[in-house]
Amino acid sequence: MRSRTVPQRGLNFEYLMWLFTRLSGLGMYILALVGVVSALVMGARTQMDMATLMRWTFMPNPSHVASSDIVNLDAWANAFWQIMGMLIVFFAGTHGLNGLRVVIEDYIGSTWLRPVLRGLIFLIWLFMIIVAVYVILAS
């Protein structure tokens, strides 16, 4: 069978978000796995309870470690974990709010309400990212 291809395909927002949903879903698994494995290596196995470990897994912020038996926070509070935290917030927040946008595209017809709700979702997304970045850098 000879190979057939389509040379030009438009890269539009809908396609990019469809792709992002799949990749960010996969990305969140990978980031969470890195978080949980690293935490176990860094001492969570004996010095942290399950709830704290889970909080760290889904949001690797040193404030979570403070409530555990771990004394030295150096390994838990550095630029690597700040970047990890921001990536998780970006992937999870964008993935989730894009899901909400998809529901709006599905169920709101071509009325004035659609651009308003789209705009609202964008503002919520922007606000959430800014607050998250501030909290991560400040902690």
Partner 1 sequence: MQVTLKIFRYDPEKDKKPHYDAFKMEAEPTDRVLDLLEKAKGYQDGTISFRRSCAHGVCGSDAMRINGMNRLACKTLVQDLGVNKITVEPILGLPILKDLIVDMEPFFDNYRAVTPYFINDEPAPAKERLQSPEDRERFDDTTKCILCGACTTSCPSFWANDQYLGPSAIVNAHRFIFDSRDKGAAERLAVLNDLFGVYRCHTIFNCTLACPREIQITQAIGEVKKAIATGKLD
Binding stretches for partner 1 (CB under 8 A): 1-10, 12, 14-15, 18-19, 102, 105-107, 109-110
Judge residue 85's burial from the number of C-beta atoms within 10 Å of its C-beta, 0-12 exposed, 13-18 middle, 19 or more buried: buried
Amino acid at 125: W
Q: Which is nearer to partner 1, 4 or 138 (CB)?
A: 4
User: Toward partner 1, which CB reaches closer, 3 or 46?
Assistant: 3
Compare residues 8 and 46 and give the one whose CB is closer to partner 1: 8
Residue 9, Cα to own-chain centre: how many angstroms?
A: 28
Q: Minimum distance from CB of 11 to partner 1 (Å)?
A: 9
Least CB distance to partner 1 at residue 4 (A): 4
